[in-house]
Structure 1
Amino acid sequence: MFLDLYEEVPLAALNYLTAECNYGGRVTDDKDRRTLTTAVRNIYCAGILQDGFFLNASGSYRVPIDELQSHEATVDYVRQWPLMPSPDVFGFNDNADITKDLKEVAQTLTTVLITQSAGGGGAGAKSFDEIMMEMSKDILAKLPPNFDMEVAMKRYPVRYDECKNTVICQELAKFNKLLDRVRGSLQTLQKAVKGLVVMDAALEGLSKNMLNNQTPLLWMKVSYPSLKPLSSYIAELLERLDFFQHWLDDGPPTVFQMPKFFFVQAFMTGVMQNFANVPAAAGRPASADKECQYTETFHMYMTTRMINPHFSPELCAQVAVINFAVTMAGLEQQLLRRVVMAEQLELEEQRLRLVEEVPTNLKTLSPRTYTTSSAVGFLPSLTPLFAIGLLHTSIKVTNEAPAGIRAGLNGTLLCFISVRG
């Protein structure tokens, strides 16, 4: 490189030589090469020429130029660095260590489970066949029957003004396919355990996954994405099925829980199409081919399970997205005030005015009363004791004013009827 020929160190050339030529030739992925270039650029910089330059944010890696007078000294100093570098060396924060440790533990436990014998233990322990029969019977007993697609299509036919009908029919069909796969594979596994059918590779993999409390890969091919173990997966599946069963029996819910859907994008698209299909009237945009013209009158409500009286169901889809474990009490307590602010804005404005006026009234009430009581020739019968009583009564009335507004708010809250989502 003939570094002595340059007045300044050619950092750009060194970066290219190291990141692109030396190491970059061995890295095939373009994103990995970009990451490598960024890491090298953090080392080959102007600060590296200064004494005490830190290579990472925590300061655990530095370059003591005065102490590195020879190649041997440099090698000895580098060997003092820990073998397991901290996450900030690679541009991550300390939480990356938690993710790395969890993955390593999961891989270790998976390896241990693979090497574990599938046979029965000592005296009194259940055999492999008994465990498989018991687990399969337990899961089959929990599974509800398939959704009646004929009834679903009659109740929710294809309509131009209600695209969510198409969404629910598609979701029910996907869940029926998943139920068929789960129920059919478990029934076949029971027959294989009894010796009625051959235990093929798919059934063997199913049995190993169930024994290790892992969601079977055979099911995941037709399932929604999930990283949960088998027990949690079954519990979540039952919750999803219950959600759509209520939708099928009782009509569209007030709150659509996004984690319950196979394909959330289809639901969101259906909601937007519902709004776009409404004729252009009362400030609403006309239908377009693919996109809906923006208007301030359209809002995607994601706040509460309460009925919104100003918008029809076609224009108002309330979605629980902040807290996926949505409960009725949590929505009413935490988010109902936002509904009141949207529907009864004058009450909120009146409350804010009182909040500003009450401190001012309390601050000026006492000196005004005292001035009035001590004025010469004015209300001569106003004794100090009577003035104190008057002041107490005035403060009490002033404090009771917000209570009246609060009662008005409570009365407004009663107008919002709770419904089951």
Structure 2
Amino acid sequence: MYGGRAIDNFDRRILSTYMDEYLGDFIFDTFQPFHFYVNEEVDYKIPELGPRDNYVEEIENLPLANTPEVFGLHTNAEIGYYTQAAKDMWTNMVDLQPQTGGSSTGISRDDYISNIASDIQKKLPAIFELDKLKKKYGVEISPTTVVLLQELERFNKLISVMGKTLAELQRALKGEVGMSNVLDEVSRSLFNGQIPAVWRKLAPDTLKSLGNWMMHFQGRFDQYTTWVNEAEPPVMWLSGLHIPESYLTALVQATCRKNGWPLDRSTLYTNVTKFATAGDVTETAHQGCFVSGLYLEGAAWDMENSCLIRQPPKVLLQPLPILKVIPIEAHRLKLQNTFKTPVYTTSQRRNAMGIGLVFEADLATSEHSSHWVLQGVCLILNSD
């Protein structure tokens, strides 16, 4: 929820779950007292009817700090909160550090930035030749091929901007050209190990540092290269796509064309496979696709029983096994004992406009769905 307002169905689901689980006539049942939360140390309940001192005593007995379990969350939620707070603090401290002088390696700041820029320049691949690819695929192309061409166009633009800004930055550091505001921001980001804003605008949303982002960048290039030179990957690394939801939409379109289904009456459902990694996949998806690169937050996955289970302590994220995404006609979809799980791009989930939500996955569960709603379960495409 953003600003105290419900902006999508998942916000409404959270509010409805809290209302159903914590508010209702059952809290006034005298035969079966309702405990909001109880353990060996504290008992959250409505005090019995009596004088004012009874209520004051109950209030004074409550702890000053509440644990995550009081709100239905896992204890890991507190670890995640403090971890994020520490990251924010360090980010602010890095931004406040002096931007002059030398680095920790003993070389000057300009030389340090120049070395990083040169290293990144060496790793930049050549842009994809879209004109040749369009001639290769011809006029009758599949919806997923259209997505590929759109992805390559965006990736080419990112490569071009990265190469241009790095080359200009090198010249500016040598004094050949003036240091513009854009180049100054790029140099500061490279020095701090962050992604420059001018690059970030052309790349998928991420919270990664510069080093991890470059590994992600190389992984995206490898997947695009395989897709262009060989065939569509049998297991799609979804977080390697700029707009992953467009690929899923293309899957539905392709299946509707093949089977003659009406597009507006078709949808997707998912099934978690027994394959732990992409290399374990030994079959082809005749309809739909296999998807890798998803991380489960707020819960864990039981490989043996193929269902959601509670998180182990101190494990905030768990890689989800290979997910199979299957297009189907909406009226044929009958799911039981599943939890509708939102899939987000990053651990920040989504902003006030709902941007960041990719799709909804169906995960098997033996628990009531309200349990996982209160645990804040979701899937994310990128680990921090």
Q: Which band: TM-score by shorter chain?
A: 0.5 to 0.7
Provide closer, same or farther for how the CA distance between residues 300 and 64 of structure 1 changes in structure 2, counting only shifts above 3 A: closer
1:64-121 per-position Cα deviation (integer Å, ceiling 9, x unaligned): 95899655x8557645544332113333232221221111111111122122223334
Q: What is the Cα deviation at residue 300 of structure 1? A: 12
CA distance in 2, matches of 1:101, 1:60: 23
Alignment correspondent of 1:259: 239
Alignment correspondent of 1:319: 290
Q: What is the Cα deviation at residue 290 of structure 1? A: 4.6
Alignment correspondent of 1:169: 149
Q: What is the Cα deviation at residue 30 of structure 1? A: 5.2
1:146-188 per-position Cα deviation (integer Å, ceiling 9, x unaligned): 111112112223315x222212111110100111222222222
Alignment correspondent of 1:234: 214
Provide closer, same or farther for how the CA distance between residues 77 and 188 of structure 1 changes in structure 2, counting only shifts above 3 A: farther
1:212 and 2:192 aligned = yes
Contact 1:157 1:166 in 2 (8 A): no
Question: What secondary structure is seen at the aligned counterpart in 2 of 1:227?
Answer: coil
Which amino acid letter does the alignment assign opposite residue 187 of structure 1?
A
1:191 and 2:156 aligned = no
Provide closer, same or farther for how the CA distance between residues 124 and 68 of structure 1 changes in structure 2, counting only shifts above 3 A: same
Contact 2:68 2:77 in 1 (8 A): yes
Runs of 4+ in 1 over 6 A off after TM superposition: 31-34, 48-53, 299-304
Q: What is the Cα deviation at residue 211 of structure 1? A: 2.1
Report which of the two has the higher share of strand: 2
Contact 1:300 1:316 in 2 (8 A): no
Q: TM-score, normalised by structure 2?
A: 0.60
Contact 2:35 2:45 in 1 (8 A): yes
CA distance in 2, matches of 1:269, 1:40: 36
CA distance in 2, matches of 1:96, 1:64: 26
Provide closer, same or farther for how the CA distance between residues 136 and 77 of structure 1 changes in structure 2, counting only shifts above 3 A: same
Which amino acid letter does the alignment assign opposite residue 198 of structure 1?
G
Higher RCO (C-alpha under 8 Å, 6+ residues apart): 2
Contact 1:302 1:318 in 2 (8 A): no
1:348-367 per-position Cα deviation (integer Å, ceiling 9, x unaligned): xxxxxxxxxxxxxxxxxxxx
Provide closer, same or farther for how the CA distance between residues 74 and 132 of structure 1 changes in structure 2, counting only shifts above 3 A: same
Provide closer, same or farther for how the CA distance between residues 84 and 227 of structure 1 changes in structure 2, counting only shifts above 3 A: same
CA distance in 2, matches of 1:124, 1:215: 21
Alignment correspondent of 1:136: 117
Contact 1:182 1:219 in 2 (8 A): yes
Aligned residue pairs total 282
Please list every run of 5 or more consecutive structure 2 residues that lacks an aligned counterpart in the other structure.
296-320, 322-384
Please list every run of 5 or more consecutive structure 1 residues that lacks an aligned counterpart in the other structure.
1-26, 279-284, 325-334, 336-421
Question: What secondary structure is seen at the aligned counterpart in 1 of 2:37?
Answer: coil
Question: What secondary structure is seen at the aligned counterpart in 1 of 2:139?
Answer: coil
Contact 2:238 2:293 in 1 (8 A): no
Sequence identity (%): 22
Q: Which stretch of the first structure deviates more once superposed, 211-220 or 248-257? A: 248-257
Q: What is the Cα deviation at residue 226 of structure 1? A: 1.5
Contact 2:94 2:192 in 1 (8 A): yes
CA distance in 2, matches of 1:167, 1:302: 28
1:227-281 per-position Cα deviation (integer Å, ceiling 9, x unaligned): 2111010011111101111221223333333222222222223233333333xxx
Provide closer, same or farther for how the CA distance between residues 233 and 79 of structure 1 changes in structure 2, counting only shifts above 3 A: same
Report which of the two has the higher share of helix: 1
Alignment correspondent of 1:245: 225
Q: What is the Cα deviation at residue 291 of structure 1? A: 4.6
CA distance in 1, matches of 2:229, 2:86: 44
Contact 1:255 1:317 in 2 (8 A): no
Alignment correspondent of 1:60: 42
Provide closer, same or farther for how the CA distance between residues 300 and 42 of structure 1 changes in structure 2, counting only shifts above 3 A: closer
Q: What is the Cα deviation at residue 129 of structure 1? A: 0.7
1:325-340 equivalences under 5 Å are: none
CA distance in 1, matches of 2:105, 2:159: 34
Q: TM-score, normalised by structure 1?
A: 0.55
CA distance in 2, matches of 1:197, 1:242: 35
Which amino acid letter does the alignment assign opposite residue 198 of structure 2?
L
CA distance in 2, matches of 1:301, 1:159: 33
Contact 1:305 1:318 in 2 (8 A): no
1:87 and 2:68 aligned = yes
Question: What secondary structure is seen at the aligned counterpart in 2 of 1:320?
Answer: strand
